[in-house]
Amino acid sequence: MALELIIPILAATVQSGTPILYATLGEMLTERSGVLNLGVEGMMIFGAFGAFLFTYFTGNPWVGLFMAGIFAGILGLLHGVVCQVFQGNQVVSGLALTILGVGLADFLGTPYVGVATTGFTPFAFPVLSSIPVIGGIFFKHDALVYLSYTLPFIFWFFMNRTRWGMALAAAGEHPAACSAAGLNPVLMRWAGMFFGGFFVGLGGAYLSLAYTHLWTSNMTGGRGWIAVALVIFAFWRPGRAVFGAYLFGGIMAFQMRLQALGATLPSSLLLMLPYALTIIVLLFSSARGKGRAAPAALGVNIEPGE
Amino acid sequence: MLGFRIAKRQEPLQWGSFFIFFAALALSLGISCLLLAIQGKPFMRALFLLWEGAFAHGYSLEDTALKSIPIFLCSLGVAVCFRMQVWNIGAEGQYALGAVGATWAVLTFPDAPAWALMPLMFCAAALLGAFWAAVPAFLRLKFELNEIISTLMFNYIGILLLEYFVYGDWKDPASFGFPMTIMFPDTAIIGSLFGRIHWGAAVCAVVAAMLSVFLKRTRLGFELMAGGENPRAARYARMPYSFLVMLVMVLCGALAGWAGLIETSATLNRLQPNVVVGYGYTAIVVAWLARLRITSIAVFSILLAGLRVGVENLQLELQVPAAFAGIMQGLLLITVLAGQFFNWYEIQRVSRVEAEAAKADEGGNA
């Protein structure tokens, strides 16, 4: 009996954790290259808008998904223009990017508020969905969720086992040494910003194409910032990011369920849960901070002529 | 072929920031116009409406001045934090808590005389605002918790807390279900100084003067600057680094709290959720554009307040969404940030002969 209650909640956990997982992995990639990008919230919502817009006009959510990545990736490149070309402060540039991204999505999206579009719909994954319990939790979702299952492995493999991944990490650890080894740390960082932004955008797309099938302003509601926190929590490692993202998915699903049940607790207090949890989760990771390994050159610009 | 090379200047450009700002302003206005043009709006008229709405008439100037008061107070605190390299992004939440504190005082002692109620409101707003900043400061000092994220999360929590009270126990029974408290009694309303400008403007002037004296004339103020320049050096010199971090955060929280109090009492005359409109985030833009200097903060507070008021005019006349103000703030911050590059670096043209000589030289060395 209890399973019938728990399986839907855990399935909802996976669903609400998915956009956070995409955004966390994207920001992790950017930070591994040595660039701190606090624009995740702005990139995510701009991506969500791009996804909505292109799906609305082409009718094909895959086009929308791709364009979400491009939209957010372009904002990532703008961060690169400020920090790599013009040597601007990464913290301030990231904040500016959030202000700009939220503003752009809101401004360009105003005519479409409440408009519905097609998107990704859940389907039972062949064979795997018939596994008891596990199938119900993990394999009755949409294509983006299934795609997200593969990502942590791909990210891990890329970062730890490929030449390009190691070159990217070298740009984040020691740009000068990276450069001395004949690699181009500036190029690595451009790639980190664009492709990191691309995945953040996919997280945004999940919100407008799968989680809902419409456009509303302020769709992200702080998920981008939660992703920034989760990168720290995850010690810049993809595996722990999964755990963090589903933890937040769980709390969001739980909060929705409580609200739907008409809990006597006021909704404002329930809505605080994810934000309070972010702080608690970060405290937890700092208390056991031995394994923390932020890229050594995170947030430090590469000056021209060095 | 002609080449270019980037060279670091010996000294920063004189008057550089001044010209950079205007170039950045022109560039961000240009991009904004482009966005309007894409949406088929008459952008030349939009620019005129923006100017007219913000600065052209007495009435609009008053509007701009009124909005600049909370932005200025928040920005002063944010700038002091940034000087210490403490990245307090939480002015928005501290502002919300200030509004809550002031309202608590009014609702608890509605019959108190003005001479008692007003100071109590200021104390409550400052205390609650400061508390909302002190917790992230403590978490940073004790657990090395990143203050950018903790203050941001506190923004969300603080705004929800405000909503919790306004939708809950504090809701006026006669408000037909609207989330708002009762109208404040006259004793709790900050009155007019001249015209529509209220006494909040005087608070700004006093705070700015005291802060300026504190930073420039006291030992502690000097330590604040030194701590920001080089935290490690400050620690080795046995300066109380943790104390300084706590101090700037609490100061910012209290000032933002006052901003919340002033908006609630002087402008809305009651607490309602729309008291929180992003002044705390605008304050970050202002602090950075002003390069953390108090007089410049005053100028940029008025400018960005004008931008907000101007966009309201655009909204009215051309149905441009309010989010346009956010776009312009973001663009301005990005262009100024990028433009400051030219303060320290110059781009030199390299002639063909030089370039080849340099290449040959490099080849010779290798």
Round to whole Å and give the CA distance between B50 and B53: 5
Round to whole Å and give the CA distance between B348 and B5: 5
The average pLDDT across B145-169 equals 93
Round to whole Å and give the CA distance between B339 and A96: 14
Kindly report, residue by residue over B75-94, the tens digit of the pLDDT.
999 999 998 889 999 999 99
The average pLDDT across B115-136 equals 96
The pLDDT score that the predictor gives to residue B188 is 87
Global pTM reads 0.91
Instruction: Give B364's pLDDT tier (boundaries 50, 70, 90).
Output: very low
Does the CB of A263 have a partner CB in chain B at under 8 Å? no
DSSP state of A213: S
Instruction: Give B366's pLDDT tier (boundaries 50, 70, 90).
Output: very low
Q: Give residue B305's Cα distance to chain centre.
A: 10
Q: What residue has token string 């691309």?
A: A198
> Is residue B62 a contact partner of residue B196, using CB atoms and an 8 Å limit?
yes
Kindly report, residue by residue over B306-359, the tens digit of the pLDDT.
999 999 999 888 888 889 999 999 999 999 999 888 888 877 777 666 666 666
Q: Which residue has the higher pLDDT, B18 or B96?
A: B96
Cβ–Cβ of A93/B323 closer than 8 Å?
Answer: no
Instruction: Give B227's pLDDT tier (boundaries 50, 70, 90).
Output: low
- Helices (H), ranges, B230-278: 231-236, 241-262
Residues 95-154 of chain A with CB under 8 A from chain B are: 95-108, 110
Cβ–Cβ of B160/A95 closer than 8 Å?
Answer: no
The pLDDT score that the predictor gives to residue A256 is 82
Residues 252-311 of chain B with CB under 8 A from chain A are: 281, 284-285, 288
Residue B246 has pLDDT above 90, yes or no: yes
ipTM given for this complex = 0.91
> Is residue A241 a contact partner of residue A152, using CB atoms and an 8 Å limit?
yes
Instruction: Give B361's pLDDT tier (boundaries 50, 70, 90).
Output: low
Instruction: Give B236's pLDDT tier (boundaries 50, 70, 90).
Output: low
Residue B272's CB is within 10 A of a number of other CB atoms, namely: 21
Does the CB of A266 have a partner CB in chain B at under 8 Å? yes
State the greatest distance between any 2 C-alpha atoms of chain A, in Å, as a whole number. 67
- Residues of chain A below pLDDT 70: 1, 263-264, 287-292, 305-306
Cβ–Cβ of B330/A276 closer than 8 Å?
Answer: no
Lowest model confidence (mean pLDDT) among B54-58, B120-124, B276-280 = B54-58
> Is residue B139 a contact partner of residue A283, using CB atoms and an 8 Å limit?
yes
Cβ–Cβ of A91/B334 closer than 8 Å?
Answer: no
Kindly report, residue by residue over A214-260, the tens digit of the pLDDT.
898 888 989 999 999 999 888 899 999 999 999 999 998 888 888 77
Nearest to A18 by CA among A234, A232, A246: A246
For residue A56, give every residue at least 6 positions away whose Cβ sits within 8 Å of its Cβ, in sequence order, or none. A64, A112, A115, A117, A215
Single-letter residue type at B291: R
Does the CB of A182 have a partner CB in chain B at under 8 Å? no
The average pLDDT across B207-222 equals 89
The pLDDT score that the predictor gives to residue A36 is 94
The average pLDDT across B134-154 equals 93
